[in-house]
Amino acid sequence: MRAFPSFKTSRLFATATLLSLFLGCSNMTPEKTLYQRLGSAEGVANITELFILEIARDERVIAYFEDSNVQRFREKFIEHLCMITDGPCEYSGDTMVDIHVGMNVTEGAFTAIVEDLIEAMTKADVAIGTQNQVLDRLARLRPEIIYL
């Protein structure tokens, strides 16, 4: 029996420790995905419901939704929000451009929708830092939505 590990073993051990420091920190305490921080399926469904309620009473944007099917919007928005926050979903709806072309969504209407989503997430007790990560990802879609 050896009193100390061999040079080879200790080097291996050191390499493994270093590797785990570089790669493993997040594995030891796995960071939740954005989707999980929204409360996973239940959370995303709840936010979507609150979002629809905010839109329904928002005179600035309600006209844009006159011809939309609420059930379909709910379904597709849940999918989209789930996918965009790294959840286990595939968005199966139309492209952002296809949906918004001809609607001439103004810059102001887009902001109004952003505010409605902030309000929905706030009511769902989503932390402001998590809200900002969601908004940042959705904001990238802006060129595919406004003035089409």
Residues in the site for other proteins, rule: CB under 8 A? 60, 106-109, 111-112, 114-115, 118, 128-130, 132-133, 135-136, 139, 142-143
Residue 37 or 74 with smaller CB distance to other proteins = 37
Residue 34 or 41 with smaller CB distance to other proteins = 34
Distance of closest approach, residue 11 Cβ to other proteins, in angstroms: 39
Residue 24 or 108 with smaller CB distance to other proteins = 108
Residue with tokens 């109004």: 112
CA distance 99 to 48: 18
By C-alpha distance, which of 114, 104, 113, 115 is closest to 145? Answer: 104
In this structure, the number of other CB atoms found within 10 A of the CB of residue 53 comes to 14
Residue 40 or 106 with smaller CB distance to other proteins = 106
In this structure, the number of other CB atoms found within 10 A of the CB of residue 76 comes to 17
H runs (alpha helix) in the chain: 7-19, 25-28, 34-37, 40-56, 70-84, 96-100, 107-123, 128-139
